[in-house]
């Protein structure tokens, strides 16, 4: 039996990978403009990090983690997301002591969740995310959201919807929590066993349940916005004002709760409204997590960020028919005819590459015509044709493959012609 790729993963082959590179480069460029610096953390972490960070009652921790014991008996997990690792690293590396506050970071790399694979949902996917730690200024919330929108705009996406909510501070959440318990308690036996367990531990999670989504109590559940205290309300209003001042459109949706436990205050998602995008329309999700660093054993530090997957971004680009203009042409293809010419082409190829030209030659012992075909397939601008006889007289033929024009050129002048 042949071995196949694991379910929920994909190979990204040449031809497709250029899209990824383009997106990654654009993301890095935008981070430079907004002054976020790259951080790289391990692909696996102690399992406890996610249990404490993401939350015991979340689907991610309960059902979706790739956890294992290593040979030393340590409990480890392939990271399902990046924020908990950033909070750990921020604490461990004492970044709170840096004079540059807030600490603004970005990351790009694979995450792992044991989910049911479908369009836009993978078991290994690549997230690009940013995190700003150390500031409780609503302007940084707005900046983080603006950065995500600007990345999508730069890549050519237009059909986007930004959805915003506030989950309030601790005090607001406690009163909301109590209201939720009262609301669901009388009929909790009509809900799934997960929700029954969530009622006392974390009733907000019920609102995020995929199984009980259509239960009538879901639609009538008390809205967090009615439980925000004055401070939380004002914070949320200022975030909205700043977004409006940047001409970023949004809608407020009080049912947006997010699937991870660390959030408070601002929560947001960006959806694709492109036709034919598929069932899962969320491209990007994020929010504020003021207690997370403390939970990791660090000083009480506020934070906000988001993550988006490249897989869903590419899907949105396809749904909006955005094509990247992908220059895969090369400067020249060397066609060598005869043994001496072939030998010579080895060093010529290397010389040209050292000078910064993208060049290729034949390694398959092709006939002349087939070599021209290969040059065409690679989109070569020029063919450099070397024969044994020409070599003795120190000239080669250079053919412009677009115009068909051909000229005899002294070997020493090849670079000059290619430069034009």
Nearest alpha-carbon partner for 334 in 401, 377, 398: 398
- Residue burial 167-189, b: 16+ Cβ < 10 Å; e: rest: bbbeebbebbbebbeebbeeebe
Q: CB of 284: closest distance to ligand HAM in angstroms?
A: 5
> Interface with ligand HAM by CB under 6 A: which range of 76-84, 208-216, 319-327, 388-396?
76-84
- Residue 398 interacting with ligand HAM (CB under 6 A): no
Among 45, 59, 81, 362, binds ligand HAM (CB under 6 A): 81
Phi, psi of 121 (to 5 degrees): -130, 120
| Min CB(7)–ligand HAM separation in Å | 12
**From candidates 52, 173, 176, 312, binder to ligand HAM by CB under 6 A:** 312
Residues 315-344 that bind ligand HAM (CB under 6 A): none
Considering only 162, 308, 336, 383, the residue that binds ligand HAM (CB under 6 A) is 308
Least Cα distance to 43 among 8, 76, 88, 90 occurs for 76
The distance of closest approach from Cβ of residue 1 to ligand HAM in the complex, given in angstroms and rounded to an integer, is 27
Which of 53, 55, 82, 102 forms a contact with ligand HAM (CB under 6 A)?
A: 82
Q: Which is nearer to ligand HAM, 204 or 283 (CB)?
A: 283
* Consecutive H or E run containing 189: none
In the complex with ligand HAM, the residue whose CB is nearer, 134 or 285, is 285
Is 83 among the residues that bind ligand HAM (CB under 6 A)?
yes
Under the binding rule (CB under 6 A), the answer on residue 208 touching ligand HAM is: no
Nearest distance, CB of residue 124 and ligand HAM, angstroms: 8
For the chain, the straight-line distance linking the first and the last C-alpha, in angstroms and rounded, comes to 53
- Return d(Cα 195, Cα 401) in angstroms, integer: 67
Stretch that binds ligand HAM, among 126-134, 187-195, 319-327, 348-356 (CB under 6 A): 126-134
- Half-sphere exposure of residue 99: CA atoms within 13 angstroms, side-chain side: 0
Phi and psi based region of residue 146 (left: phi greater than 0; alpha: psi -120 to 50; beta: remaining): alpha
- Rank residues 267 and 349 by Cβ distance to ligand HAM and give the closer one: 267
Residue 36 sits in the site that holds ligand HAM (CB under 6 A): no
Q: Which stretch binds ligand HAM (CB under 6 A): 219-227, 282-290, 353-361, 408-416?
A: 282-290
291 binds ligand HAM (CB under 6 A): no
106 close to 27: Cβ distance less than 8 angstroms: yes
Cα–Cα distance measured from residue 61 to residue 197, given in angstroms and rounded to the nearest whole number? 14
Segment holding 47, helix H or strand E: helix 47-53
Tell me the backbone φ, ψ of residue 330, rounded to 5 degrees: -125, 160
C-alpha distances (whole Å) from 254 to each of 165, 223, 262, 268, 292 are 6, 6, 17, 11, 23
Taking CB under 6 A as the rule, does residue 112 contact ligand HAM? no
Distance of alpha carbon 402 from alpha carbon 415, whole angstroms: 18
Which residue is it, tokens 């975030």? 239
CA distance 319 to 332: 35
Tell me the C-alpha distance between 257 and 225, whole Å.
12
- In this chain, which of 242, 268, 306, 357 binds ligand HAM, going by CB under 6 A? 306
Pairing of strands 264-272, 160-166: antiparallel
Size of the residue set binding ligand HAM (CB under 6 A)? 27
Choices 197-205, 301-309, 378-386, 396-404 (CB under 6 A): range interacting with ligand HAM: 301-309
Residue 82 or 102: which CB sits closer to ligand HAM?
82
* Least CB distance to ligand HAM at residue 192 (A): 20
DSSP code at position 203: G
Find the part of the chain contacting ligand HAM (CB under 6 A) among 11-19, 31-39, 219-227, 307-315: 307-315
Question: Can you tell me which of 309, 315, 345, 371 binds ligand HAM, judged by CB under 6 A?
Answer: 309
Residue 122 found at the interface with ligand HAM (CB under 6 A): yes
Q: Which is nearer to ligand HAM, 302 or 305 (CB)?
A: 305
CB-based contact 69:58 (threshold 8 Å): no
State the Cα–Cα distance between residues 306 and 129, nearest whole angstrom.
5
Site string for ligand HAM, 355-394 (x = CB under 6 A): ----------------------------------------
Does position 30 interact with ligand HAM (CB under 6 A)? The reply is: no
Interface residue list for ligand HAM (CB under 6 A): 81-83, 113, 115, 121-122, 125, 127, 129, 131, 259-260, 282-287, 289, 305-309, 311-312
């Amino acid at each position: 039996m042949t071995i196949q790729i694991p379910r929920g993963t994909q190979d990204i082959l040449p031809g497709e990978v250029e899209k990824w590179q383009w997106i990654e480069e654009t993301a890095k460029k935008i981070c430079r403009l907004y002054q976020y610096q790259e951080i790289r953390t391990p692909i696996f972490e102690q399992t406890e990090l996610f249990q404490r960070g993401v939350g015991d009652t979340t689907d991610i921790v309960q059902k979706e983690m790739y956890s294992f014991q290593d040979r030393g008996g340590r409990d480890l997990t392939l990271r399902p997301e990046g924020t908990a690792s950033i909070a750990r690293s921020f604490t461990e590396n004492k970044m709170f002591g840096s004079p540059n506050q807030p600490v603004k970071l970005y990351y790009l790399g694979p995450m792992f969740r044991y989910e049911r694979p479908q369009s836009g949902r993978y078991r290994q996917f690549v997230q690009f995310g940013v995190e700003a730690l150390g500031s409780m200024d609503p302007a940084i919330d707005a900046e983080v959201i603006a950065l995500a929108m600007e990345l999508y705009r730069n890549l050519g996406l237009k059909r986007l919807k930004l959805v915003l909510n506030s989950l309030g501070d601790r005090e607001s959440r406690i009163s909301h929590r109590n209201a939720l318990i009262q609301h669901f308690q009388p009929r909790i036996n009509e809900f799934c066993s997960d929700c029954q367990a969530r009622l006392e531990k974390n009733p907000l999670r019920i609102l995020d349940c995929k199984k009980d989504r259509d239960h009538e109590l879901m639609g009538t559940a008390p809205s967090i916005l009615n439980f925000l205290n004055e401070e939380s309300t004002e914070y949320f209003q200022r975030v909205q004002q700043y977004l409006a001042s940047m001409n970023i459109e949004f809608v407020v949706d009080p049912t947006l709760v997010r699937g991870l436990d660390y959030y408070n205050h601002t929560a947001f998602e960006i959806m694709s409204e492109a036709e034919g995008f598929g069932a899962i329309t969320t491209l990007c999700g994020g929010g504020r997590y003021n207690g997370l660093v403390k939970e990791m054993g660090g000083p009480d530090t506020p934070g906000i960020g988001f993550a988006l997957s490249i897989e869903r971004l590419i899907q949105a680009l396809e749904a909006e028919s955005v094509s990247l203009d992908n220059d895969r042409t090369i400067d020249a293809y060397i066609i060598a005819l005869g043994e001496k010419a072939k030998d010579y082409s080895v060093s010529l190829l290397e010389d040209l590459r050292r000078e910064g030209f993208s060049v290729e030659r034949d390694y398959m012992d092709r006939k002349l015509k087939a070599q021209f075909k290969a040059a065409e397939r690679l989109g070569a601008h020029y063919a450099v044709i070397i024969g044994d006889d020409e070599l003795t007289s120190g000239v080669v033929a250079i053919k412009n493959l677009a115009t068909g024009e051909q000229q005899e050129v002294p070997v020493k002048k090849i670079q000059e012609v290619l430069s034009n």
